[in-house]
Structure 1
Amino acid sequence: MSLVVSEDALNKLQALMDQVEEESLLRTFQNVHQGCVTETLMRFLKAREWNVTKAHKMIIDCLNWRVQNEIDNILSKPIIPTDFYRGIRDSQLIGLSGYSREGLPVFAIGVGLSSFDKASVHYYVQSHIQINEYRDRVILPSASKKHGQPITTCVKVLDMTGLKLSALNQIKLLTIISSIDDLNYPEKTNTYYIVNVPYIFSACWKVVKPLLQERTRRKVQVLPGCGRDELLKIMDYASLPHFCRREGSGSSRHSENGNGNGNENCYSLDHPFHQKLYNHIKEESRIQEPVEPIKQGSFHVDFPEPPAEKAEIVKTLESELHKFKISNGTCD
């Protein structure tokens, strides 16, 4: 992509956005760009292969989705009671383990050990969007300020420890979550590092990889073992997710959570990241509705239809995993 072409596309998209007059869309757009308008427009352009018309439609669709689903208020909707939220944190494994040397937040995700079995789909979607919004409205602006330059993306380390054939049961929920990200939080991840890879992942990756867009493929790096040595090239030891700390350390949420070592395990509700996030949401809810008691119940968000590319990937994955089931003669 030549500089001239991208500059031209950017100017055209900016001109189209300058024509938006609807107050609600302009207000939510501020929550999206957080002062980094150029970087935000570039993300949407990249996601639509530099097609200005498609990028503009994507932004407007995203802003409408935000307004219709009151996404701007989601950080004032705590999931309560705390024990119930702890169950969500123990079954939807994600956390902030630190920062890369360039200042990018490092998110750790326990793909293989996330069971998603403690709450309804709506709670998991709500929790996922809250982490996205907290990242975009609190973590990234604070990292930008610290480094004196716009930091608008993050790094994700995906731990495949414990990945089983029963992952098939979670494909629907994972598709909803990743479709929300594709359509409304495009190009927020700089690189996906995949670690602790079992055979089942390698086999599925071979089939899925050719279906991914070149842009996405380039972002995925499958690392040997727990990925420690490779990751230490871009971050300090203190920022490594706990499952990358030593070869063969695995990622047992039970041993980590159960020994009072919550500060090490960035998935745990006791980890400083989750404590700050949860306190932030509770504080926001007090500001918004100081008199009303906090209501229990999930914050419902409309689920998008998965994009065609994603639907094809899911179909391929399902058929691949079914083949495994048949050849192994087992359900797990």
Structure 2
Amino acid sequence: MSADPLSGHPGHLSETQQAALTQFRQELIAEGGIPSNKDEVVAHLGYDRFDDQTLLRFLRARKFDVPKAKLMWNANEKWRKEFGADEIAANGYDYPEQREVDKYYPQFYHKTDKEGRPIYIEQLGKLDINKLYALTTQDRQLHHLVHEYEKFLKSRLPACSKQSGHLVETSCTILDLYNAGISSFYKVKDYVGAASSIGQNNCKSNSDRSDAVNILTLSFFLTDPETMGNMFIINAPYLFSTVWSLIKPWLDEATVKKIHILGKNYKTELLQYIDQENLPSDLGGTCKCPGGCSLSDAGPWNPQSA
């Protein structure tokens, strides 16, 4: 194992890794995994999702096994075509109900952690499923989620890289379970199951997973692997340890190390990773964005929030 913590990332490739990247790209081009009109697609999207940085995420997720990385890539391309992800990336997605939806299931990006990564926050404890689906549908919610993730790739990561002065490829996720009982998870299991089918979620296998395994897959992100830096599950109820014991076997060791299960006394540890002024006040920070942090889209990707 390489002593370089950035091994496998751009600028930190061994000869073997560089050879795998070259082989991966050549085979994708030859087999149509990267389209012949790539430049047109990139211009349409507004960002290059065929660059070395993206290909390396797939290779790292499969430990530089090119055939396995190709299987993942091709599955991702199939999903993008069926879901219309490229069109969402290029044209956006109109979601006028967001302000009302936010009252009953807040999911949002907000500022950065100490390593310059965008922070993604999900507050499951505020979920009111009946009021939520009186405002929107599962399908619209999923399309909005994909839109936000495309913005993560297209604008949030580049802006964070520019501000921090180094390449930022991952996010910091906070899943707040305050007032969330185990029943809350099962109220959204259909939605989370659908969201998890969008991506590979760093699971060892996508077959025969229990509902418990699907509980967290939404926050492990969508189709692109290797985009989760740290994940903090805060205000975790006592019974969550049972749920976690069911989930852990389905995740690889590297992913498990990124996940921190914290109870009510989470602030000391969380503030080791996130500056107080970048954390919303209702999560123990000092940030009070005008109109609410969950709707501010505050961060280096949004000049209006500065």
Shared topology, TM-score over 0.5?
Answer: yes
TM-score using structure 2 length: 0.73
CA RMSD of aligned residues (A): 3.2
Match of 1:46 in 2: 60
CA 1:179–1:192: 2 relative to 1, 3 Å: farther
Partner residue of 2:218? none
After TM superposition, give the deviation of residue 235 of structure 1 in Å. Answer: 2.3
Structure of larger gyration radius: 1
Alpha-carbon separation, structure 2, partners of 1:211 and 1:41 = 24
SS of aligned partner of 1:199: coil
Q: Say if 2:111 and 2:298, in contact at 8 Å, map to a contact too.
A: no
* 1:158 paired to 2:200: no
1:73 aligned partner, one-letter code: E
Aligned pair partner of 1:127 in 144, 147, 168: 144
Q: Give the direction of change, closer, same or farther, for the CA distance of 1:243–1:203 in structure 2 (3 Å limit).
A: farther
Q: Would the aligned equivalents of 2:171 and 2:227 in 1 still touch at CA under 8 Å?
A: yes
Aligned to 1:199: 238
Which residue of structure 2 aligns with residue 320 of structure 1? none
Contact 1:226 1:245 in 2 (8 A): no
Q: Does 1:263 align with 2:263?
A: no
Unaligned runs of 5+ in 2: 3-13, 201-221
Q: 1:169 aligns with which of 187, 192, 195?
A: 187
Q: Which has the higher contact order (CA 8 A, sep 6+)?
A: 1
Report the Cα offset of residue 90 of structure 1. 2.4
Seen in structure 2, the aligned counterparts of structure 1 residues 25 and 230 have a Cα distance that, compared at 3 Å, is: same
Match of 1:144 in 2: 161
- What is the CA distance between 1:177 and its match in structure 2? 1.2
Residue 8 of structure 2 corresponds to which residue in structure 1?
none
**Offset of residue 85 of structure 1:** 2.8
Stretch moving more, 66-75 or 31-40: 31-40
**Alignment partner of 1:93 is 2:106:** yes
Alpha-carbon distance, 1:224 to partner: 4.2
Unaligned runs of 5+ in 1: 250-260, 280-332
Corresponding letter in the other structure for 2:236: V
Per-residue deviation, 1:115 = 3.4
Matched, 1:103 2:116: yes
Pairwise CA distance, 1:159: 0.7
Matches for 1:1-332 after TM superposition, within 5 Å = 1-2=1-2, 3-19=14-30, 20=32, 22-23=35-36, 27-28=40-41, 31=45, 34=48, 37-75=51-89, 76-80=91-95, 82=96, 84-116=97-129, 117-118=132-133, 119-166=136-183, 167-182=185-200, 184-245=223-284, 263=290, 265-267=292-294, 269=295, 271-273=296-298
Partners of 2:238 and 2:93 in 1: CA distance: 39
| 1:28 Cα deviation from its structure 2 partner | 4.7
